[in-house]
Structures are given as structure tokens and as C-alpha cells.
Homo-oligomer: A and B are copies of this chain.
Amino acid sequence: MSSVADIRAAARRMEGQIVQTPLLNAPLLDRIAGRKVLVKAENLQKTGSFKLRGAWSALSVLPPGEGVLAYSSGNHAQGVAWAGAAMGRPVVVVMPADAPSVKIENTRAYGAEVVLYDREREDRAEIGAAIIAARGLHLVPPYDHPMVIAGQGTVGLEIVAQAEGIDEADVLVPCGGGGLTAGIALALEGRFRPRPVEPAGFDDTARALAAGAPQRNPRLGGSICDAILTPEPGKLTFPRLQALCGPGLVVSDEEALRAVALAFTHLRLVLEPGGAVALAAALFRQDLPETVIAVASGGNVDAAIFARALAMA
């Protein structure tokens, strides 16, 4: 299981390869939130999301030249494609055919071979296993993998360094399978309280934390927050969340879109809805401390969805 030492080691392996993303603030946003909101702009990471960190961490410990396979609705795909290309590794990504087109196009543009499947009728694990067996690839899971969690945790190391001078804060993290949340939770070492944020209808982690045992979501699609829709918490991630996180927060799709619009106006950042759920919670939930650090986890959004958010600006 990943430790802070693993996270520090991952940070060293990716030195000079990733963007140390800024921690931004806007007084006019603070006014709307009724509290101080610091935004960790991980949408500015190469490939447009934090996923590059976990991918880089995992790929950088594999034997040189060997190839990898990933399942992903988009951001993990781009991270693995980018890291693989940088290291000269073959990359195959199995993506749902209804993933945002910008994510599919970029994954291909970074040089990966993309295999599309029908999310409703096909089993991606089956498709992937056949390719792995035929071509001798390593599977790079999106969150349930110690090196991936260690990579995502580097976001937490940067937050601790950048939030110097802040005594107390909740760190709100968009949560799908929990890799980013678990990594950040470990990296914070009790300095701030981490809390997962999920879209309504996909709040398996919030319910699991409340119930003390993993819970499943009734359905898999249908939220605008495509980046963070997972069936249940990860096997490696959930025990970490249980040990380290405060209660989960839940926001509606409309609140996520409003957060996208407010990040446009006040932070000049492009966020995708799933990447904006932590900011949405910071803005629209009440049970929060005076200072909140919201991770903006990704910015790969189709123009049509962004235009919907703009109509709220």
C-alpha cells in the first residue's frame, strides 16, 4: 500500500515532467462562497488533468520498452498515452464510445491506439484481457494501484507547500474511484482534512464513509460529470479514505455547471463538470470551515457542454 514515502518517490520520478499547478484565489468567488476558497488548478496539468501524475508514476517503474493497456473514459487514457509516448512505450487504451470526443481525439493524438467499446453492452475487462494476453502488455488501472495512488498524491505534497501560512482547512477532492482523494489524504499527513466530493446519484464513497462499508451506485451513466462516475470505491483506496477523510460531500449536476461558469468568470480557468465538483461544494455547501482548498481536477470538456455552463454565467 502507498505511503508518504512512495508519494515523495513518485514526485522525484516526475520532476521536470509535470506542471506544478498554481493555487489560485479570487475575492469575488470568496464572496459567493462566504469563505476563503483556494483552487488547485490541476486542469492546467499536461493532458488537462491530474491523471498524468498517476500514469507517470506507474509507468516509470516498469521495465524499459514494455507496453501498457488502460481502461478509461478519458482523462486516465490521456495521462497514460502521454506518459507512454514520453517513455517510448506502446500504449493501448480501451475507451467507451460515448466518452467526450475531445478526450478520444487527444488520446489518439498523444500516440495511443484507442479501442472503443459500447458501455451498455460490452465488457471492457474482457476486451482488455484479450489484448493484454495477445500482446504482453501491463495493465495500468485508473485508481486501484499503489503507484497510481502515489502519483496522484503528489498533488497533496504541492498543496501543503503552497498553502503555507494556512492553519486549518478542508481539502475538497473530486472523487470517482478515490485514487486522487486517497493520494492527497496520505500526502496531507493530517495537516488539513481531506473530503471526497461526488456528483448526486454517484455518491458511493459518501454513503460508504457514512455506512462504514463499500456501497455501489445504482447506475453508471447519466451525469454530466463523466470523469468521476465509478460503480463503487476502490479496494485499495477505500480503506485509506475511511482512515483519513472527513464526511463526503455531494453536488448536483447543475451546481457543477454553475461552478464551471464561476471558474470561467472569476478564475479564467476551463474546468470540466467532473473536475469542478469540489469547487461546487466549496461554493454551495454550508458545513465547511472558513478556508477551503478545492482541487480542480480536470479541464477536458466539449465546447457544447461548456456553452451550457456559459449560459449560466
**Residues of A in contact with B (beta carbons under 8 Å apart):** 19-22, 24-28, 31, 41, 43-44, 46, 48, 102, 106, 109-110, 261, 264-265, 267-271, 299-300, 303, 306-307, 310-311, 313
Contact = CB atoms under 8 A, between A and B. Distances in A.
A158 to B, nearest CB: 12
Contact of A43 (B102, B268, B300, B306): B268
A303 B299 contact: no
Nearest to A28: B109
Contact of A44 (B22, B106, B299): B22
The copy count of this chain in the complex is 2
Nearest to A309: B303
Given A24-B44, A43-B268, A264-B270, 19 more contacts: A19-B24, A20-B22, A21-B22, A22-B22, A25-B46, A26-B46, A27-B110, A28-B106, A28-B109, A31-B109, A41-B44, A44-B269, A48-B268, A102-B265, A261-B303, A264-B303, A303-B311, A303-B313, A307-B310
Q: Which 9 A-B pairs have the closest CB atoms?
A: A268-B299, A268-B270, A303-B313, A303-B310, A43-B268, A48-B268, A28-B109, A307-B310, A264-B270
A44 to B, nearest CB: 6
Contacts of A110: 27
A47 to B, nearest CB: 9
Contacts of A24: 19, 44
A269 B267 CA distance: 9
A82 to B, nearest CB: 8
5 contacts: A21-B22, A268-B299, A303-B310, A303-B311, A307-B307
Nearest to A110: B27
A313 B305 CA distance: 12
A310 B306 contact: yes
A28 B81 CA distance: 13
A48 B25 CA distance: 11
A311 to B, nearest CB: 7
Contacts of A300: 268
A265 B299 CA distance: 9
A25 B271 CA distance: 17
Q: Which of A48, A267, A303, A310 has the most CB of B within 10 A?
A: A303
Contacts of A43: 268
Contacts of A46: 25-26
A19 B19 contact: no
A77 to B, nearest CB: 15
Q: Which of A31, A106, A261 has the most CB of B within 10 A?
A: A106
